[in-house]
């Protein structure tokens, strides 16, 4: 079972990453009125695969003055950290690679390892651009973990759980099927006194951002912070092609570079998955039950059945792809922030907002019971 989950997770992750790499090129091209890849395969769809194949054929160069051990281990550490994060992601009501009770906490901890890998790569390369990139990257990621962590904390306070699967169940019609939640009820906007129960309505109405509308703000804060955590534009100063060449991975080539590349895109997928699970209803359908038209039930399936796995995977992945599109969209729209603007945004805007959110989320929880 564990092996199966491992295989499913890694293959799913690779497929989504390949799709995102292709989408990145096409979206960028379309936004800039270009065509993007057209030659490799129909509409250039084989391009990302061929890119990886090309990278694997390249020589693995280790600079003479590099710290060889750190240099060699860094890409593997980064990839392992990101991939370990996928372990706690529930794919459907019954399919979760590792159903740990403290999944959110584990995830925050394990993807912080990423920072150590970045620093190892930057330091080990013995190159000033790589070093600068790594330092910027560490400063940025450590800073942005605070608003991101606080935004996640507000979700945890609303849901009263650190388990991704439990949080997922809470956001749909299957809530009462989860052991321990049999007596729970969902109310519209999480306000019990409105007297409108949504436990059996499901769909959009029970997504966290509607179950407790404060989480809508938390979602935006988390999304911005997550862009910074995976070094995406407009927060890509650690990689800033135009000033740092490529940042911490400037000295890498061949297979090791491919690993960085993969880890970076896997990180994007991971943060989007987390955003979907914690804010946008996880694997739950967006369609509510309206009276006799039980859209939510039809598009969920009974837990345990094959239908629920297919529907769950479908909703989770399509919502993730939408968020990934927003990430790409932001990248090809906004210019890069300066270091001071980046820190200003983090410490003076996002952190105070997210502290306020934690407080509000606590108060909102009182309305829900």
Nearest to 208 by CA among 102, 286, 269, 268: 286
Least distance from C-beta 29 to other proteins, angstroms? 8
The tokens 């990248």 sit on which residue? 331
**Could you say which of 156, 330, 343, 355 contacts other proteins (CB under 8 A)?**
330
Cβ at position 142, least distance to other proteins in Å: 25
CB of 234 to other proteins, least distance (A): 10
Compare residues 189 and 332 and give the one whose CB is closer to other proteins.
Answer: 332
Find where tokens 């593997």 sit: 76
Give the separation between CA 297 and CA 19, rounded to whole angstroms: 30
Binding residues for other proteins, rule CB under 8 A, total 14
Q: Which of 207, 211, 342 is nearest to 275 (CA)?
A: 207
Q: Which stretch binds other proteins (CB under 8 A): 173-181, 186-194, 254-262, 324-332?
A: 324-332
CB of 53 to other proteins, least distance (A): 23
Retrieve residue 339's tokens: 């270091």
Using CB under 8 A as the binding rule, whether residue 280 contacts other proteins is answered as no
Considering the complex, state which of residue 110 and residue 233 has its C-beta at the smaller distance from other proteins.
Answer: 233
- Quick note: the x/- pattern for other proteins over 331-350, rule CB under 8 A, is -xxx----------------
Considering only 4, 7, 15, 31, the residue that binds other proteins (CB under 8 A) is 31
Nearer to other proteins, 104 or 346 (CB): 346
**Nearer CB in complex with other proteins: 298/334:** 334
Cα first-last separation, the chain:
38
Neighbours of 336 (CB within 10 A): 18
Task: List the one residue out of 79, 75, 146, 156 whose CA is nearest residue 110.
Answer: 79
- Which of 1, 2, 3, 33 touches other proteins by CB under 8 A? 33
Query: Contacting other proteins (CB under 8 A), which of 1, 2, 3, 32?
Result: 32
The SS3 assignment for 294 reads: strand
Cα–Cα dist 215/212, whole Å: 6
Identify which range of 43-51, 66-74, 152-160, 325-333 contacts other proteins by CB under 8 A. 325-333
User: Which residues inside 10-29 make contact with other proteins, applying CB under 8 A?
Assistant: 27, 29
Tokens found for residue 216: 């809508």
- Give yes or no for a contact between 296 and 312, defined as CB atoms under 8 angstroms apart: no
Minimal distance in Å, beta carbon 258 to other proteins?
A: 28
Measured from the CB atom, the residue of 29 and 98 that comes closer to other proteins is 29
Q: Would you say 124 or 147 has its CB closer to other proteins? A: 147
CA angle 104, 108, 114 (to 5 degrees): 145
**DSSP label at residue 335:** P
Which of 34/128 has CB closer to other proteins? Answer: 34
| DSSP tally for the chain: helices H, then strands E | 14, 2
Nearest-angstrom CA–CA distance, 166 and 182: 12
Q: Contact 150/354 with Cβ under 8 angstroms? A: yes
By the criterion CB under 8 A, which residues form the site for other proteins? 27, 29-35, 38, 329-330, 332-334
């Amino acid at each position: 079972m564990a092996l199966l989950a491992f295989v499913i997770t890694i293959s799913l992750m690779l497929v989504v990453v390949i799709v995102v790499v292709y989408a990145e090129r096409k979206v960028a091209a379309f936004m800039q009125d270009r065509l993007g890849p057209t030659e490799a395969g129909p509409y250039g769809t084989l391009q990302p695969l061929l890119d990886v194949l090309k990278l694997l054929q390249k020589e693995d160069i280790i600079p003479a003055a590099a710290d060889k051990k750190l240099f060699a281990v860094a890409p593997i550490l980064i990839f392992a950290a990101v991939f370990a994060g996928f372990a706690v992601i529930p794919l459907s009501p019954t399919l979760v690679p590792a159903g740990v009770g403290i999944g959110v906490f584990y995830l925050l901890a394990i993807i912080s390892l990423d920072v150590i890998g970045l620093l190892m790569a930057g330091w080990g390369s013995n190159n000033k651009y790589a070093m600068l990139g790594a330092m910027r990257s560490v400063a940025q990621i450590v800073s942005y973990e605070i608003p991101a962590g606080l935004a996640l904390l507000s979700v945890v306070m609303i849901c009263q759980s650190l388990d991704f699967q439990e949080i997922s169940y809470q956001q749909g019609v299957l809530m009462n099927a989860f052991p321990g939640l049999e007596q729970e009820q969902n109310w519209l906007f999480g306000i019990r006194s409105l007297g409108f129960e949504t436990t059996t309505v499901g769909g959009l109405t029970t997504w966290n951002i509607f179950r407790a509308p404060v989480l809508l703000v938390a979602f935006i804060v988390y999304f911005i912070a997550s862009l910074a955590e995976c070094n995406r534009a407009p927060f890509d100063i650690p990689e800033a092609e135009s000033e740092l060449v490529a940042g911490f991975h400037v000295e890498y080539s061949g297979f090791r570079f491919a690993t960085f590349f993969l880890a970076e895109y896997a990180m994007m997928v991971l943060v989007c998955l987390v955003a979907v699970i914690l804010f946008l209803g996880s694997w739950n359908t967006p369609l509510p039950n309206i009276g006799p038209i039980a859209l939510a039930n039809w598009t969920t399936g009974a837990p345990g059945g094959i239908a629920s796995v297919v529907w769950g995977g479908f909703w989770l992945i399509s919502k993730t792809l939408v968020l990934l599109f927003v990430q790409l969209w932001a990248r090809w729209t906004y210019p890069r922030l300066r270091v001071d603007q980046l820190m200003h945004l983090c410490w003076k805007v996002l952190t105070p907002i997210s502290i306020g959110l934690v407080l509000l989320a606590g108060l909102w929880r009182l309305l829900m019971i």
